[in-house]
Structure 1
């Protein structure tokens, strides 16, 4: 933990250590270095014990639905952070990724066509088309909302299956049980605080980094409007949200992409 801290670590992940004593040792060592500890969800009792022992949050969904008040109040009062990553799993019921990929062919998503390596995008088109009734996503999202309302926090998360879409899908999944404002907080300030970056990111305040997204429509009306991002501002530099060409303070094209996209492959036999 000392070495991790010296390297600039803020939040450490404990990943399925076998015994409770081992997990407690990790928490004690992290606290000595001023580090937060997140973890991997296993089952409800497993995650309850981790939070009891001082871990600050966990990734992946609690499959026990619905969550009752004794559970949501416990996590809320512990100020734990729940990153459900609903977009990639709805185990044991159905894979959340299948739901979103069945709604829209990823080859029809313009940004993915423009940015994703073409062969990798083609390889990721496989999904299982399931009935809507196979998914418990709204119940999982509502459980997350109850934890937040009890004093905990919820963070948007992804898993890397479809970079650029996973975060959006996780927000849309959470919106089936949370208000747009709650989802936006999960995607911004709650996630920043969870990672120990709340003093630098997550809200528009004097002294924080000028990292912003400018939308063409209000995401407080519907979370789907987060797709309509027009500009990205990073460190005070303004970029076109689609091409990432720099627009201000200077005009600078993004430049060459060292990989072939679907657009580059169109019309070619090989």
Structure 2
């Protein structure tokens, strides 16, 4: 732990597919409503959504989940002065990143440290902290505005109200641009298909 925390290495676990036990992604498929989530249904083709969310092949007792124990190691590194980041294989685009954050919190990491792992620590690890990772004058204006505070409950990270990308503001539920001009997201090809 001391070596990891003092070496300057950024620890980046990928908890959704962590080995040594059941994958955390199956925990979230079982314990969160994914298939009928309106935002996910809006942004993902129905056949792909069905393939990812229906008839998951595994059920695991909660006490057999390994991801909280693995996340606890990341928490120990942070408490010892090290830095952790959010890992991802793209298991489930968008929502999977939130699941990674929630998994770190399940290992005892405080919500503020989870958010730092998702923002400034990741930017520092990639050598991009001069442009990304925090809100400061001169940095890129890419950010999310949430409806609920993730410091109160880390699961509030997915209550996205707005997304700002390159200085343009978009609604989180539709990705319609609302500033500096209003512009609807062009229809996606699967919107006319029946589920």
The one of 62, 71, 85 aligned to 1:132: 62
Q: CA deviation at 1:119?
A: 1.1
User: Hey, what's the Cα distance between the residues in 1 that align with 2:20 and 2:68?
Assistant: 15
Q: Report if aligned partners of 1:214, 1:230 keep a CA contact under 8 Å in 2.
A: yes
Counterpart of 1:4 in structure 2 is: none
Q: 2:72 maps to which residue? A: 142
From 81, 89, 100, the counterpart of 1:159: 89
Distance in 2 (alpha carbons) for counterparts of 1:109 and 1:78? 42
Q: Which ranges of structure 1 fall in alignment gaps of 5 or more residues?
A: 1-71
After the TM superposition, list the runs of 4 or more consecutive aligned residues in structure 1 that deviate by more than 4 angstroms. Answer: none
1:40-55 equivalences under 5 Å are none
Partner of 1:77: 6
Which whole-Å CA distance do the structure 2 matches of 1:127 and 1:79 have between them? 39
- How far did 1:256 drift? 2.1
Contact 2:95 2:158 in 1 (8 A): no
Partners of 2:21 and 2:182 in 1: CA distance: 49
Q: Deviations over 1:52-108 (max 9, x none)?
A: xxxxxxxxxxxxxxxxxxxx111111111111111223x222111111111124212
Q: CA separation in 1, counterparts of 2:63 and 2:83?
A: 28
Equivalent residue, structure 1, for 2:39: 111
**Post-superposition offset of 1:137:** 2.0
Residue 102 (structure 2) pairs with residue 172 (structure 1) = yes
Counterpart for residue 130 of structure 2:
199
Higher relative contact order (CA 8 A, sep 6+): 2
- Partners of 1:185 and 1:199 in 2: CA distance: 15
Please tell me whether the aligned partners of residues 23 and 67 of structure 2 are also in contact (alpha carbons under 8 angstroms).
no
Q: Within 1, Cα distance between the matches of 2:57 and 2:133?
A: 34
TM-score by length of 1: 0.68
What residue is the counterpart of 1:208 in the other structure?
139
Structure 2 stretches of 5 or more lacking a match?
Answer: none
User: Alpha-carbon deviation of 1:138?
Assistant: 2.0
Superposed CA deviations along residues 147-192 of structure 1, whole A, max 9, x for unmatched, are 1222321111221121111100000000112000000001100011
Query: Structure 1 pair 127/196, CA: closer, same or farther in 2 (3 Å)?
Result: farther
Q: Which has the larger radius of gyration?
A: 1
Q: Which deviations, in whole Å up to 9, do the C-alpha atoms of 1:6-61 show, x marking residues without a partner?
A: xxxxxxxxxxxxxxxxxxxxxxxxxxxxxxxxxxxxxxxxxxxxxxxxxxxxxxxx
SS of equivalent to 2:161: strand
TM-score norm. by structure 2 comes to 0.93
Matches within 5 A, 1:1-270: 72-89=1-18, 91-125=19-53, 126-176=56-106, 177-258=108-189, 260=190, 264-266=193-195
- Counterpart Cα distance in 1 of 2:89 and 2:24: 12
